[in-house]
């Protein structure tokens, strides 16, 4: 038997070990609980969700992400004025301003011998339908003894002068429009910042201090979700690349941060055309011009290389998806499109109708037939989730919403269909909202309200954790949202 002294020592030792174990349990228990705690639902509210990435997707079977290319339409602009150096007009900007559409573009008067210096002009055009554009005589800038032209600025800021409509709440009336311009090389000035009250008369208010290459069309805009101004510009990192800076006031800018394209192959991206999507401003879309400098143009021009346009998307403005390495828009059959700077997509997307988006694309660059065309794309139609004839399905992660109806943008074949199923937090189909309860959709529309046997009103599920399973057969699903109205 143990002596009393040895017994007490042993008991004390055991108590110490037990206390240590208890303390370890107390310390580690919160971490263990956190590890097994279910993830919170993603709150999608009533916002539109494009199917351009897998952010909301938990599982997918027998489906593919399909990239869609815009279709070329009519020629909307030729550069035939004396102050327009036709082969070297580029860096086009478009935006809607009420019932008016505005366009800006650059003319490099000394090109091709000199793309720098003071001899550049920024020109302006406008339209009531986005198709027919006029060049008003503004009476602002003298060109060879006359001000009867559509020039808004002349000088070093004009090679890539890119305005935007400032949608920041409370913006001063005389600063409703803002712009960045400048193509500094060597000891040239930094890009300059401009404001305007009428989109025609501009005044300089500052310069950009963020380091960059800037030899491209650099773009700025007000980000309503992040409540800040955002700047995308060219940098050089062994290749032409894109960086981003932000500002609370348009005048002071953060240090540049290169955008992250993941593990995708490194390519030369000249312009970027990055913009918040007007129907889903939490999503950034970008349409960079990809420059393949190792290939020779198919027609005789001064500079080498050929170009096309690619598509990227982002939810945070820094990390961009290059899921689709193939071209968003190819040069096509005309040999004059196989030159450097052709297939350059303008900054700006115009919704000329409810079902269609217009983009503007430079063609035949470096040649005397350089011009701008309009191209069209289905509303939300950048990428779709495509199902084959045999059918497929995907299920969202756990989400919560605040709308009343599930609305989809989709098209099917005559034999195709789409059904939706609402699942509870445990992944079990909800009575009345199962796939077999859903009225199958077939047709082609940008706004179809999904119906089930129990009706279409989902308001009793609003705010609760659910999943949605879409069954897609010989069809394309472009976007979905939970509409806020019944």
pLDDT in tens, 357-404: 999 999 999 999 999 999 999 999 999 999 999 999 999 999 999 999
Looking at the DSSP bridge assignments, the partners of residue 384 are: 66
Nearby residues of 214 by Cβ (< 8 Å), 6 or more positions away: 160, 182, 183, 184, 191, 233, 234
What is residue 337's DSSP assignment?
Answer: G
Distance CA 458, CA 460 (A): 6
Query: Which one is the CATH code of 42-63+383-483: 3.90.1150.10, 2.60.120.260, 3.40.50.20, 3.40.190.10?
Result: 2.60.120.260
Query: Computed from CA positions of residues 291, 293, 297, 301, in that sequence, does the dihedral angle turn out positive or negative?
Result: positive
Q: Structural domain boundaries of the chain?
A: 42-63+383-483, 71-378
- Average predicted confidence (pLDDT) for the chain: 91
Band of residue 485 on the pLDDT scale cut at 50, 70, 90: confident
Mean local confidence (pLDDT), 275-293: 98
Mean local confidence (pLDDT), 325-332: 98
pLDDT in tens, 289-315: 999 999 999 999 988 999 999 999 999
Written as six digits, the tokens of 278 are 């007007």
What is the structure's pLDDT at 323? 95
Written as six digits, the tokens of 149 are 């032209």
User: Sheet containing 203-207: which strands, arranged edge to edge?
Assistant: 162-165, 177-181, 192-196, 203-207
What is the structure's pLDDT at 36? 47
What is the structure's pLDDT at 131? 98
What is the structure's pLDDT at 118? 77
CA 342 to each of CA 70, 92, 216, 246, 414: distance values in angstroms, whole numbers, following the listed order: 15, 12, 14, 30, 38
Instruction: Answer whether residue 20 shows pLDDT above 70.
Output: no
Least confident of 18-27, 119-128, 208-217, 220-229: 18-27
Percent of the chain clearing pLDDT 70 (strictly above): 90
Least confident of 101-115, 150-164, 362-376, 430-444: 101-115
Mean local confidence (pLDDT), 18-31: 39
Q: In 3-state terms, what secondary structure has residue 133?
A: strand
Instruction: Answer whether residue 8 shows pLDDT above 70.
Output: no
pLDDT in tens, 105-144: 999 999 887 776 678 999 999 999 999 999 999 999 999 9
**What are the residue ranges of helices labelled H in 335-440?**
none
Q: Taking the CB of residue 63, how many other CB atoms lie within 10 A of it?
A: 21
pLDDT in tens, 29-79: 333 334 445 679 999 999 999 999 999 999 999 999 999 999 999 999 999
What is the structure's pLDDT at 39? 76
Instruction: Answer whether residue 222 shows pLDDT above 50.
Output: yes
What is the structure's pLDDT at 116? 65
Band of residue 185 on the pLDDT scale cut at 50, 70, 90: low
Query: Which one is the CATH code of 71-378: 3.30.930.10, 1.10.10.10, 2.115.10.20, 3.40.50.2300?
Result: 2.115.10.20
CA 402 to each of CA 289, 373, 425, 435, 483: distance values in angstroms, whole numbers, following the listed order: 38, 40, 16, 22, 8
Least confident of 112-126, 245-259, 356-370, 465-479: 112-126
Identify which of 231, 127, 124, 234 has the alpha carbon closest to the alpha carbon of residue 185: 234
What is the structure's pLDDT at 21? 38
Distance CA 86, CA 365 (A): 9
What is the structure's pLDDT at 37? 52
What is residue 463's DSSP assignment?
Answer: T
Instruction: Answer whether residue 245 shows pLDDT above 90.
Output: yes
What is the structure's pLDDT at 188? 60
Q: Which of 21-35, 113-127, 458-472 has the highest mean pLDDT?
A: 458-472
């Amino acid at each position: 038997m143990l002596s009393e002294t040895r017994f007490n020592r042993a008991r004390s030792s055991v108590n110490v070990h037990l206390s240590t174990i208890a303390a370890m349990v107390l310390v580690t228990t919160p971490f263990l609980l956190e590890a097994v705690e279910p993830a919170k639902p993603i709150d999608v509210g009533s916002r539109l969700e494009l199917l351009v990435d897998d952010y909301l997707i938990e599982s997918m079977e027998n489906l593919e992400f399909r990239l869609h290319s815009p279709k070329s339409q009519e020629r909307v602009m030729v550069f035939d004025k004396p102050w327009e150096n036709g082969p070297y007009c580029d860096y086009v900007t478009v935006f809607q301003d009420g019932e008016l559409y505005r366009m800006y573009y650059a003319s490099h008067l000394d090109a091709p011998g000199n793309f720098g210096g003071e001899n550049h002009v920024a020109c302006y055009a406008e339209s009531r339908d986005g198709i027919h554009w006029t060049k008003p005589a503004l009476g602002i800038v003298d060109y060879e003894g006359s001000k009867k032209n559509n020039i808004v600025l002349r000088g070093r800021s004009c090679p890539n002068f890119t305005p935007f409509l400032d949608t920041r709440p409370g913006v001063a009336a005389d600063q409703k429009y803002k712009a960045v311009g400048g193509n500094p090389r060597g000891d040239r000035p930094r890009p300059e910042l401009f404001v305007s009250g009428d989109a025609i008369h501009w005044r300089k208010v500052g310069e950009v201090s963020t380091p960059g290459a800037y030899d491209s069309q650099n773009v700025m805009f007000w980000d309503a979700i992040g409540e800040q101004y955002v700047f995308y510009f060219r940098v050089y990192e062994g290749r032409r690349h894109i960086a981003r800076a932000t500002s609370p006031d348009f005048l002071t800018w953060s240090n540049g941060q290169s955008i992250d394209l993941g593990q995708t192959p490194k390519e030369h991206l000249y312009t970027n055309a990055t913009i918040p999507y007007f129907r889903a401003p939490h999503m950034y879309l970008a349409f960079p011009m990809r420059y393949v400098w190792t290939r020779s143009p198919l027609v005789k021009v001064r500079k080498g290389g050929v170009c096309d346009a690619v598509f990227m998307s982002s939810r945070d403005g820094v990390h961009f998806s290059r899921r689709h390495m193939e071209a968003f828009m190819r040069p096509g059959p005309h040999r004059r499109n196989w030159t450097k700077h052709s297939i350059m997509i303008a900054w700006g997307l115009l919704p000329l109708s409810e079902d269609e988006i217009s983009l503007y694309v430079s063609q035949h660059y470096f040649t005397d037939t350089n011009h701008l065309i309009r191209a069209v794309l289905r509303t939300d139609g950048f990428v779709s989730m495509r199902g084959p004839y045999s059918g497929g399905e995907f299920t969202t992660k756990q989400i919560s919403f605040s709308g009343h109806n599930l609305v989809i943008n989709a098209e099917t074949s005559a034999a195709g269909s789409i059904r939706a199923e609402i699942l509870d937090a445990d992944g079990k189909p909800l009575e009345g909202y199962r796939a077999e309860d859903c009225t199958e959709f077939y047709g082609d529309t940008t706004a179809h309200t999904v119906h089930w046997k129990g009706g279409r009103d989902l308001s009793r599920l609003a705010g609760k954790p659910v999943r949605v399973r879409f069954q897609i057969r010989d069809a394309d699903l472009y976007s979905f949202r939970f509409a806020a109205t019944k």
